[in-house]
Structure 1
């Protein structure tokens, strides 16, 4: 049987189709996604009035009730955008097509824009994607595991001078632990903690008490037995033991590790959570065709408020 990602059903939207549609149709797509409840008719973001009229000289609207002028991207993460609607739509297609993420430098070359523009845009998309994970509760069979990222220490040139990086005293102190909680064939939720065991409070907040938890033999997970039916597997012996395994959690780490090593090469500590959430979204939607993925990201971006973290990022010390 052919794998889904190799089938034609996985490819429902292409860059060729985006650039062929032109600016007007791309603009109509943004309107239809932003104001789906009114069939693309503008709604004032300030007072919610549905009575507006077009400003003929530019793509803006004016509210009949409060006289507020706005555009289709006002109040969203695309607010104050300078890119064309075609380029924004193409950027989202390129972004979702990257199975292991897309480097901002590559995106800047594909769209012929500054690296700074591509960097901020991709982070805004990650912020929008993470909105669907807010307040998520996991139930059923939940796999939990942790892996460490960042804190690279360059080895010494001479073998005699090299240190054992497995020892804590020889590390940089910048390593962070990404903990993933993942339903079997369902949704996932990542967290960033200092050590694996520090994630137990997050488990209490986001995993239902009737769930069955699968974890490895890490001592940090011993506390889980007090609140859940917990099954453990010793990975030094086997990957699967009497029904207990964390293979789907390991699948997530495989994607995130390849994002770090193969696509971005380095992920700074303050941004690790954003990349972890992106990898979670990609794992959750890996069997969704790229056309629907594009629509999901665009819809989330237009539903999100102006990003307080990324708006004006390059105009301040961040």
Structure 2
């Protein structure tokens, strides 16, 4: 039997010990080389784009000769207003990368010996930077669409006579949301979060190329897709796959989310569900890349992502 990719040496090209043994100067040099690759690591003003600057002696910042603004190595990036050192940030990215089913802020705060709030904001900034870099054109080929519900769990009453039918809307919490996935076979994965699975019809029309063949299950709301795409349907009450029609890869993605929710995070707040779904979609797409390549991808995404409008100042109540 052939060896699974994740068990092979090709999958393990990132050494966490090497990252955490970096000096602050080494970490700064590595981040500068990624952020300002066009100038070989020479600082570029994020305000005006000027490359001429002064080195300030009092603080580790530069002053632009053109606009006179001061800026640091992370000014204008997703790590704007950071509290952790660059070495700790790169170490956190390495740890986050190696979490095949995701990584929780509580565990990261223990690994780095930092406050939970710092770890929480850092991980959400990484998810945000990944999301900004992901959307690139309509999905092509064979695309599987499906939806799965998460959150809003209502605990049944202790006594059987007090239990209510939780399928009825009146007995639900109203917090339950659906993750709608559109997944190319052997390709990209895209997610949308909504209240009902029927919202996946418009999401599919917006994200899938008209020439693509859409695979969907027997739910009646997918009938509307037949007017826009070549479509194949599978009735899961009869079979999981038949005549080339199936949604097995979409179901595989939902399995990854449920493992992350139950085994890693234990609870995902509704307003962050989209961020977690995007992260896990990215993990699904790059699962055949080495962890070294994944680490480089995330650092590149973070280095070019702009200042976060939601997470910068989050714990100081500055988020919208």
**TM-score normalised according to structure 1 size:** 0.96
Aligned match of 1:276: 277
Please state if 1:65 is matched with 2:66.
yes
Question: Which secondary structure state, in structure 2, belongs to the residue aligned with residue 45 of structure 1?
Answer: coil
Task: Give the superposition deviation at 1:135.
Answer: 5.4
Find runs of 4+ consecutive structure 1 residues off by over 4 angstroms: none
In 1, the alpha carbon distance for the partners of 2:232 and 2:107 equals 43
> Are 2:102 and 1:101 equivalent residues in the alignment?
yes
1:229 is matched with 230
Residue equivalent to 1:76: 77
Tell me which residue corresponds to 1:260.
Answer: 261
What's the counterpart of residue 193 of structure 2?
192
Aligned residue number for residue 121 of structure 1: 122
In 1, distance between residues paired with 2:199 and 2:181?
A: 13
Q: Superposed, which structure 2 residues align to 1:17-32 within 5 Å?
A: 17-32=18-33
Deviation at 1:177, TM superposition (A): 0.8
Shifted more, 241-250 versus 43-52: the winner is: 43-52
1:234, distance to aligned residue in structure 2 (A): 1.0
Deviations 1:11-68 (A, max 9, x none): 1112201122221111111101100111111111111112224324432222222222
Q: Is the Cα contact below 8 Å between 1:181 and 1:189 reproduced in 2?
A: yes
Residue in structure 1 matched with residue 13 of structure 2 by the alignment: 12
| SS of match in other structure, 2:214 | strand
The aligned runs of 1:158-177 (5 Å cut-off) are 158-177=159-178
Structure 2 partner of 1:37: 38
C-alpha separation in 1, matches of 2:9 and 2:178: 37
Q: Counterpart in 2 of 1:54?
A: 55
Task: Give the Å deviation of 1:206.
Answer: 1.1
Secondary structure of the corresponding residue to residue 245 of structure 2: coil
Report SS of the residue matched to 2:23: helix
Check conservation: 2:312, 2:318, Cα contact below 8 A.
no
1:201 shift after superposition:
1.3
What is the distance in 1 between the residues matched to 2:203 and 2:136? 11
In structure 2, C-alpha distance between the alignment counterparts of 1:235 and 1:17, rounded to whole Å: 48
SS, match of residue 246 in structure 2? coil
Give the Cα separation in 2 of the matches to 1:218 and 1:137: 24
Partners of 1:286 and 1:312 lie apart in 2 by: 33
Report the equivalent of 1:180. 181
What SS does the corresponding residue of 2:233 show, helix, strand or coil? strand
Structure 1: tracts of 5 or more residues without a match: none
CA distance in 2, matches of 1:52, 1:197: 54
In 1, the alpha carbon distance for the partners of 2:299 and 2:281 equals 17
Contact 1:12–1:289 (CA<8 Å) still a contact in 2? yes
For 1:214-239, what per-residue CA distance to the aligned partner results, in whole angstroms no more than 9, with x for missing partners?
01111111101111000011112211
Question: Separation in 2 of the partners of 1:136 and 1:76?
Answer: 25
* Shift of residue 276, structure 1, vs aligned partner: 0.9
